[in-house]
Amino acid sequence: MHVKAVIFDWAGTLVDFGSLAPLLSLKRVFEEAGVTVSEDDIRAGMGLGKLDHIKAIGFSPRAANAWAGSHDDQPFEERDAFLLHERFREISRQTAAERGKLIGGVLTASRALRDRDILIGTTTGYTRDIMERVIAVAKAQGFEAEVVVCADDVPECRPSPLALYHAMVSLGVYPASAVVKVDDTVPGLMEGKAAGAWTVGISETGNEMGLGEDAFKALPPRERLDLANAAAKRLTDAGADYVIGSVAEIANIVDDINERLADGERPELLEYEPEAA
């Protein structure tokens, strides 16, 4: 038994340091609808499929009150979420591509994995039309995954394990205990745990830190360390098997997992219960 595949998230993990593209796009979508939502409210649902993310924001107490206040006391409804999602897709096709710069260490990490005969897959909360441009931008920088599973490729997105299962089938790898899921969000980690894969949280380059690269590097060293430790704790508390600052460290984690697999250890399986229809 050994690691056969590593499945990465995209924004905040491979590209878009700080996971700012979805934040900016969601903020704009709600502002165009007359509702100001806070960064905290947006980041709370980061990692979900974007339609589900929009619903989570819109039905939250603060946003729901603001929506009613700017829409003649009409409550936020499912149809509103679908309309906002269509607008989100329009905006994100550009924003996500503009924020498609690879995070430092991605190319080195992907080479290290392939040197170990490990396949590279990805899942994302973005829909295929958004990801087509991001994939092209990443490829131009030298990164290409064997498979990209998008939110609209599966009936149910994160924290459901379906996207990870889809990636495993496409890659032809099993069991899930031979797979590692790497993500900067809690729903993304839950996707991995619900499948029975090993999970690795990203504490510095993604949603939990929530800072662009320049802002992150400008932090005083002590403040940076404190924020990174707090982000790591949130990911650990959510059940991550490992937490690293960025994907640059993933090869060492895979080596450690291989040792644990050889000793007979297996990752914890967290049963996923879908919401009632």
Given the residues 4, 9, 184, 241, select the one marked as catalytic: 9
Provide the token pair at 57: 């924001």
CB 16 within 8 A of CB 209: no
CB 270 within 8 A of CB 194: yes
Task: Report the chain's C-alpha Rg in angstroms.
Answer: 18
Cβ atoms within 10 Å, residue 76: 23
Catalytic status, residue 50: yes
Provide the token pair at 72: 């003649």
Catalytic status, residue 181: no
Q: Measure Cα distances from 69 to 39, 66, 78, 83, 260 in Å.
A: 20, 5, 17, 19, 55
- Tell me if the bond preceding 159 is cis, omega within 30° of 0: yes
Given the residues 4, 16, 41, 50, select the one marked as catalytic: 50
Q: What is the DSSP letter of 246?
A: S
Spatial neighbors of 5 by CB under 8 A, at least 6 apart, are 118, 119, 120, 121, 167, 168, 171, 173, 178, 179, 180
Active site residue ranges: 9, 50
